[in-house]
Amino acid sequence: MEKKIYFNTPQRLTQLIGANTTVIVAGRRTGKTDSIASPFVLRNMQRMPGSTGGIVVPTYKHGLTNTIPGLLAAWKRWGFVNGIHYVIGRRPPKFFGKPIIEPAEYEHVITFYNGSCAIIISQDRPGSSNSLTLSWLLIDEAKFIDYERLKDETLPANGGIKSYFGHHSFNHSVMILSDMPQTQKGSWFLHYQDKMDADLIETIKGTIYEIWKTKERIRQLNAKGEAVPSYLRNYLRNLDRNLNKMRSVAVFYKEYSSIENLQLLGESYIKQMKRDLTPKTFQTSILCQRIGIAKDGFYSSMREAHKYNASDFEYLDSLGYDFNESQLDCRADKDLNPYAPICIGMDYNANINWIVAGQPTGRRLNVIKSFYTKFERKIPALIDDFCRYYVHHECKVVVYYYDSTALGGNYAVNEQDFHWVVCHEFERHGWQVEDINLGNPMRHDEKYLLINQGFAGKQRLMPMFNRQNNDDLILAIQTAGVVRGRNGFRKDKGGEKLAETEEDLLQHRTDGTDAFDTLYIGCEKFPYRDSFGYHSGGVL
């Protein structure tokens, strides 16, 4: 029995246009990986037997947890079975076709039954695109892609084998997928909008409609038992030929908000995302709107160089491509020193609570991960999240930096103050707490000077952020504004003066940054030293 598959408007239009270069900038849950990337990869691998393509992801962990599972889930729904139609991460069975250019190894390769291969290229894994000859590229989460590396290492490999596939419009094709970027560096693909020939795209649409009309007329003649004139068949062939030529040079750029998929997501999902996400994350990741970057914001000295990737490939490789999400814990983080305490700063709010965790090493403060809980999930749930993630950490010591805002009040948990609850919860989970009181909160202008000097390398510690583990925190830091007053600089907590609603609390923009401030001030001004010679400036 024929199985019907639902595609929303962005998904149908992308497949219909079939441009050689396709750039889709869309909000969350619009089905970018599931029903835009999956048909693209499937078409290329099926219609170019023995070809090799590349699936480019910013980090191996992202590919392992987002891109690849999304592709495989879609293929499974469409009837493609792992082990029969394709294999992943291992040498294919003998009954599979042979690739034209066989990979050196199959550990990070998807192989189809007809010999086509898709190589998983992760930018945090050196050499993953070396010496490749590719016939197509899928670039996922493009806002996190290092364009200079892509341009130097991967794009030149997309030369394909013209003698085999030169007649296909999708030979050397590129698909770029992302939600709206929040940084200048992450905006490298937005210029494709200027490269799109809108008239050509409209001509492609018109040609497809003309092909449909012609085929429909041929079907009607066949149904009546009448002869199909030869000119109709010739006309159809010419239309197909012209369509192929247009597609081979076409650039298709389109932006969509998550509301495009409202029929499947439902209105409640959009409302929930507006409630749960920071306003700027909602603006970029759901509504897919462009935002300005705070070039002279509160953290004006932060640069792209203050972010890093740190995956433990040995551990991630051991998981394979069929793993439980609970296995993705601190063992996947290469930057974690398992024998040193973890320093934390926190921020407490009735609607959101944050932990920002770091480990100083040498002259760096590595911000290794951040956690937050929303609304009904309070501080105990937040600390439970932390302890579950770091359950395999060898040194169960947390250095808890706090200031007077943690004392004498608690509007998030019970009658005890924040400090007591935090210490109690960590101890209940078997962690030793070294609590260090920073006193009254530092003045904003002093904090501004201290932290920006840290970013500039003029303090003892320079903040560095694990990109994969601090997505929302990095966004909040990059967009935190500043207001000037008689007493100097102050962090702008006004949230661009937008009207406050119960679902869109403006203070969500800066809560996480306040937790980071506490962590940095603590590690910089109040270094912790234990009996084993560890202190919050590194190991002595």
**Tokens found for residue 346:** 């926190």
- Across 483-505, b (16+ Cβ under 10 Å) vs e yields eeeeeebbbbbebeeeeeeeebb
- 79 phi/psi in degrees, rounded to 5: 95, 5
Integer Cα distance of 451 and 258 in angstroms: 36
Cβ-count burial of 514 within 10 angstroms (0-12 exposed, 13-18 middle, 19+ buried)? Answer: buried
The CA–CA distances, whole Å, from 324 to 65, 319, 320 equal 10, 9, 10
Integer Cα distance of 450 and 447 in angstroms: 5
- Residue of 442, 445, 450, 451 lying closest to 488 (CA atoms): 445
What DSSP string describes 10-79?
HHHHHHHH--SEEEEEE-TTS-HIIIIIHHHHHHHHHHSTT-EEEEEES-HHHIIIIIHHHHHHHHHHTT
| CA 163, chain centre distance (Å) | 36
The per-residue pLDDT for range 58-109, each reduced to its tens digit, is 988 888 888 999 899 999 999 999 999 999 999 999 999 999 999 988 989 9
**Tokens found for residue 105:** 């190894």
**Tokens found for residue 293:** 């970057």
Q: Which residue has the tokens 């239009």?
A: 13
- pLDDT score recorded for residue 91: 93
- pLDDT score recorded for residue 533: 52
- pLDDT score recorded for residue 540: 38
* Torsion over CA: 141, 144, 147, 152 (sign): negative
Enumerate residues 6+ apart whose C-beta is below 8 A from 416: 410, 424
Cβ-count burial of 411 within 10 angstroms (0-12 exposed, 13-18 middle, 19+ buried)? Answer: exposed
Pairing type for strands 173-178 and 52-57 reads unpaired
Enumerate residues 6+ apart whose C-beta is below 8 A from 105: none
Predicted TM-score (pTM) of this structure? 0.72
DSSP collapsed to 3 states, 173-209 = EEEEEECCCCCCHHHCCCCHHHHCCHHHHHHHHHHHH
Report the chain (540 residues): mean pLDDT per 10 consecutive residues. 73 91 82 86 95 93 87 92 94 94 91 96 82 92 89 87 86 91 79 93 95 94 90 93 95 77 54 60 57 65 89 86 79 94 91 92 95 86 96 96 85 73 95 95 89 94 94 83 69 51 44 93 87 49
